Amino acid sequence: MIDPAPVKRTELSSLGEFGLIKHLTDTFVCEQPSTIKGIGDDAAVIDYGEKVTLVSTDLLVEGVHFDLSYMPLRHLGYKCAAVNFSDIVAMNGTPRQLFVGLSVSNRFPVEALDEIYAGIKLACERYHVDLAGGDTTSSVHGLFLSLTVTGEADKQDVVYRSTARENDLICVSGDLGSAYMGLLLLEREKKVYEANPDMQPELSGYDYILERQLKPEPRTDIIELLKKAGVKPTSMIDISDGLASEVLHLCEDSGLGCRIFEDKIPLDAMTIAAAEEFNIQPVTAAMNGGEDYELLFTIAMNDFEKVRAIEGISIIGHMTEPNAGTFLASNNGPLIKIEALGWNHMHDAH
Amino acid sequence: MIDPAPVKRTELSSLGEFGLIKHLTDTFVCEQPSTIKGIGDDAAVIDYGEKVTLVSTDLLVEGVHFDLSYMPLRHLGYKCAAVNFSDIVAMNGTPRQLFVGLSVSNRFPVEALDEIYAGIKLACERYHVDLAGGDTTSSVHGLFLSLTVTGEADKQDVVYRSTARENDLICVSGDLGSAYMGLLLLEREKKVYEANPDMQPELSGYDYILERQLKPEPRTDIIELLKKAGVKPTSMIDISDGLASEVLHLCEDSGLGCRIFEDKIPLDAMTIAAAEEFNIQPVTAAMNGGEDYELLFTIAMNDFEKVRAIEGISIIGHMTEPNAGTFLASNNGPLIKIEALGWNHMHDAH
């Protein structure tokens, strides 16, 4: 298991507020022409000219959204940034600037924050996003991260959740349920470790599902492929809470029903194997697990051929008139009503 | 003293995540044409056309930035929003959209969050800012607020901290030190109350300094008056940490020194009276107290007559060449080096 506090320990108070911000952000370089002014004034200044500005914000709380006993701090930083970028991608836009609010108790040394920022930097560099501002403060307990990302899009390119139409095809990128299986694995190994600290965690051979949980990627490649193919989705959302919850968002916001086919839901072989090991249905991990950060979107029927030709996109169902309800057609026959499993962040960590 | 938990108690978990967001934000109405899409999608969509987008973000932590034993929740909401708007004003811009991240433990009922949002709503309505998104989640301990505001400005109107020039006049809006005296008063009455809960707090007659602490206002009026007078400040910042810290920011970022005159620093009569009562120098409250959210800015010498004609602006000194240092000319003669008093947020509540 990973120790959240690396060996060297510089007290937060030794740097002072402005010293700490400078220390954490000094190695970030702004590369976007739209970033007129980044860190270092009352506000960042961003210029999208003829484009619209997309803004999304996320709050991540230790003990609620992440568990530092198995989430390395560098991965935490990467994941927080990547997840935020994914919200801009889900609007069919491109993330451009990131703002990071960080609140920590004195239990964390500067080196721990350095690890978080190293992860954020990796994500920023990979997706060409500028760190353009933020706020750093102390907390009485624990670690809080608040991220805001701004992105750009041509006005006519923005895709909302509310604009799916009847008979549109429902598509999903990548595969689903793997991030949740990675989480179950990490939680199991944590319990084993707590019961017997001499035990080595059994994580080898599970690389894919662990990476899906610890290092999700925003699917900027998918929106580029769709653009290249001349397809504009009719509605779109990213999968943070599980397929069930997200498809219900599209249905509710667009005033429609849906039919999803279980046998069309993309599952990785390792997800299926791990689900068997944990004695759960793989489709349950896909429907209710969450944190896959794949894109769920709808397309017009006459874009079917174009989308079918794109690797990494599965067509899993279609939108229906609202009275037809929201159903999953299961492999063994019966229709199962799709329901959201509520808000487990309010109740316990996941 | 104010009870943070009102009488009626609806458990947070009874609403669910989406229910809670809807409950808290339902009465907010977007009024800005630039808000193309507010709450309810992966990201807000904002369109400033030819303008630049200003973005500022703030993190506020219970027990660090505010004390709920004397800060009513409605005032907390108002203040968090107002303070965030002030950052946009300090860029010479106009705040337009607000994004609120709220993280709370189950110790808070829904009614407590309603109070916070009622305060946020008041500020949004007063300054015509649209609530356009956010995130609500649970925390293990306490209350965290993360606010991001976006604003607009013509590109040529934006004023930075780094662009003051030698011999520019240093100006400040309103009066200083009053918010800090309000804080000292609230802290004193809290101690009295803790020692003897039957004692009534002695707050009458102190309205002005209490209001300055509990309900600060962003000085949108000042930037409008300057615009009307045809004056563009050469540099600007808002006073959140005290005059000393802010004037040092302008000096450091512009590569200059400064000379401030103690007898020019605007002080309200009640601030002076309260400072006497607490046996501190009023100038200390102004220099190091903070939270006044007045504007500190520099102007070219030939704008002197125009600015002198504007009520509510004091000229308190001038910028010097860097080797002249950063000094306060005290009333009784000697020059005192201006120094920042460090980052007390990292050490204890204030």
Q: How far is B101 from chain A (nearest CA, A)?
A: 6
**Does pLDDT of A12 surpass 80?**
no
**Does pLDDT of A46 surpass 70?**
yes
Query: What mean pLDDT is predicted for residues A213-226?
Result: 96
> Nearest to residue A344, comparing CAs of A249, A242, A243, A252?
A242
**Does pLDDT of A321 surpass 90?**
yes
Hey, of A54, A96, A250, A346, which one would you mutate to test binding to chain B, going by the most B CBs within 10 A of its CB?
Answer: A346
Q: How far is A58 from chain B (nearest CA, A)?
A: 6
Mean pLDDT of chain A: 89
Q: How far is A346 from chain B (nearest CA, A)?
A: 5
Q: Domains plus CATH for chain A?
A: 12-157 (3.30.1330.10), 169-346 (3.90.650.10)
B93-142 pLDDT, tens digit each? 999 999 999 888 888 888 888 899 999 999 999 999 998 888 888 887 88
Could B61 and A103 be called an inter-chain contact, meaning their C-beta atoms sit closer than 8 Å? yes
Measured in residues, chain A has a length of: 350
A13-31 pLDDT, tens digit each? 777 766 777 787 878 888 8
Q: How far is B273 from chain A (nearest CA, A)?
A: 32
pLDDT at position A128, please? Answer: 92
pLDDT at position A7, please? Answer: 64
pTM of the model: 0.88
Q: Between B183 and A25, whose confidence is greater?
A: B183
Q: How far is B247 from chain A (nearest CA, A)?
A: 13
Q: Which of A12, A18, A133 sits opposite B57 (nearest CB)?
A: A133
User: For residues A37 and B93, what is the distance between their CA atoms, to the nearest angstrom?
Assistant: 14
Contact of A111 with A10, CB cutoff 8 Å: yes
Contact of A180 with A285, CB cutoff 8 Å: yes
B91 interaction partners in chain A (CB closer than 8 Å): 41-43, 45
User: For residues B229 and B220, what is the distance between their CA atoms, to the nearest angstrom?
Assistant: 14
Instruction: Sort strands A130-138 and A235-238 into parallel, antiparallel or unpaired.
Output: unpaired
Q: How confident is the model at residue B17 (pLDDT cuts 50, 70, 90)?
A: low
Percentage above 90 pLDDT, chain A: 61
- Cα distances (angstroms) measured from residue A52 to each of A85, A95, B45, B321: 16, 12, 7, 42
Could B58 and A101 be called an inter-chain contact, meaning their C-beta atoms sit closer than 8 Å? yes
User: For residues B236 and B220, what is the distance between their CA atoms, to the nearest angstrom?
Assistant: 13
Q: Which of B41, B238, B343 sits opposite A160 (nearest CB)?
A: B41
B16 interaction partners in chain A (CB closer than 8 Å): 342-343, 346
pLDDT at position A37, please? Answer: 79
Could B42 and A18 be called an inter-chain contact, meaning their C-beta atoms sit closer than 8 Å? no
Could A343 and B55 be called an inter-chain contact, meaning their C-beta atoms sit closer than 8 Å? no
A65 interaction partners in chain B (CB closer than 8 Å): 137
pLDDT at position A306, please? Answer: 97
Taking CA–CA distances from A239, the nearest residue in chain B reads B42
Contact of A274 with A185, CB cutoff 8 Å: yes
Q: Which of A16, A58, A155 sits opposite B135 (nearest CB)?
A: A58
User: For residues A93 and B46, what is the distance between their CA atoms, to the nearest angstrom?
Assistant: 12
Q: Between A61 and B342, whose confidence is greater?
A: A61
**Does pLDDT of B148 surpass 90?**
yes
The region of weakest confidence among A205-219, A335-349, B52-66 is: A335-349
For A325, phi then psi, to 5°, come to: 75, -175
B139 interaction partners in chain A (CB closer than 8 Å): 61, 64, 142, 144
Instruction: Specify the 3-state DSSP secondary structure of A291.
Output: coil
A84-96 pLDDT, tens digit each? 999 999 999 999 9
Q: Which of B17, B64, B102 sits opposite A138 (nearest CB)?
A: B64
Q: Between B43 and A149, whose confidence is greater?
A: A149
Could A139 and B64 be called an inter-chain contact, meaning their C-beta atoms sit closer than 8 Å? yes
Hey, of B35, B37, B57, which one would you mutate to test binding to chain A, going by the most A CBs within 10 A of its CB?
Answer: B57
pLDDT at position A17, please? Answer: 67
pLDDT at position A42, please? Answer: 78
Q: How confident is the model at residue B7 (pLDDT cuts 50, 70, 90)?
A: low
The region of weakest confidence among A270-274, B142-146, B159-163, B237-241 is: B142-146
Query: What mean pLDDT is predicted for residues A285-306?
Result: 96
Per-residue three-class SS string for B217-261 = CCCHHHHHHHHHCCCCCCEEEECCCCHHHHHHHHHHHHCCEEEEE
**Does pLDDT of B159 surpass 80?**
yes
Task: Please state the separation of Cα A74 from the chain's center in Å.
Answer: 16
Q: How far is A86 from chain B (nearest CA, A)?
A: 9
pLDDT at position B348, please? Answer: 36
Q: How confident is the model at residue B313 (pLDDT cuts 50, 70, 90)?
A: very high
Hey, of B138, B154, B162, which one would you mutate to test binding to chain A, going by the most A CBs within 10 A of its CB?
Answer: B138
**Does pLDDT of A276 surpass 60?**
yes
Could A12 and B97 be called an inter-chain contact, meaning their C-beta atoms sit closer than 8 Å? no
Q: How far is B192 from chain A (nearest CA, A)?
A: 24
Q: Between B201 and A243, whose confidence is greater?
A: A243
Mean pLDDT of chain B: 89
What ipTM score was computed for the predicted complex, to two decimals? 0.86
Query: What mean pLDDT is predicted for residues A278-302?
Result: 96
**Does pLDDT of B144 surpass 80?**
yes
Q: What's the helix, strand, coil split of chain A in %, to 5?
A: 35, 25, 40
Taking CA–CA distances from B46, the nearest residue in chain A reads A53
B62 interaction partners in chain A (CB closer than 8 Å): 140
Q: Which of B134, B140, B346 sits opposite A142 (nearest CB)?
A: B140
**What are the residues facing A116 on neighbouring strands?**
none
Report helix angle A178-195 to A207-214, nearest 10: 100
Could A99 and B54 be called an inter-chain contact, meaning their C-beta atoms sit closer than 8 Å? no
pLDDT at position A271, please? Answer: 97
Query: What mean pLDDT is predicted for residues A176-189?
Result: 94
Query: What mean pLDDT is predicted for residues A65-69?
Result: 88
Q: Between A207 and A5, whose confidence is greater?
A: A207
B135 interaction partners in chain A (CB closer than 8 Å): 57-59
Q: How far is A277 from chain B (nearest CA, A)?
A: 31
pLDDT at position B2, please? Answer: 46
User: For residues B17 and A241, what is the distance between their CA atoms, to the nearest angstrom?
Assistant: 11
Q: Which of B88, B93, B347 sits opposite A13 (nearest CB)?
A: B347
**Does pLDDT of A32 surpass 80?**
yes
Q: How far is B64 from chain A (nearest CA, A)?
A: 7
A106-133 pLDDT, tens digit each? 888 888 888 999 999 999 999 999 988 8
Could A103 and B59 be called an inter-chain contact, meaning their C-beta atoms sit closer than 8 Å? yes
Percentage above 70 pLDDT, chain B: 95
The region of weakest confidence among A12-26, A132-146, A213-227, B1-15 is: B1-15
Could A144 and B61 be called an inter-chain contact, meaning their C-beta atoms sit closer than 8 Å? yes
Could A16 and B346 be called an inter-chain contact, meaning their C-beta atoms sit closer than 8 Å? yes
B58 interaction partners in chain A (CB closer than 8 Å): 101, 135
Q: How far is A163 from chain B (nearest CA, A)?
A: 11
For B72, phi then psi, to 5°, come to: -60, 145
What one-character DSSP code corresponds to residue A24? H
**Does pLDDT of A345 surpass 80?**
no
A103 interaction partners in chain B (CB closer than 8 Å): 59, 61, 64, 144
Could B90 and A42 be called an inter-chain contact, meaning their C-beta atoms sit closer than 8 Å? yes
Contact of B1 with B70, CB cutoff 8 Å: yes
Could B41 and A347 be called an inter-chain contact, meaning their C-beta atoms sit closer than 8 Å? no
**Does pLDDT of A202 surpass 90?**
no
Could B46 and A40 be called an inter-chain contact, meaning their C-beta atoms sit closer than 8 Å? no
Q: Which of A133, A153, A343 sits opposite B56 (nearest CB)?
A: A133
Q: Which tokens belong to B332?
A: 């009784």
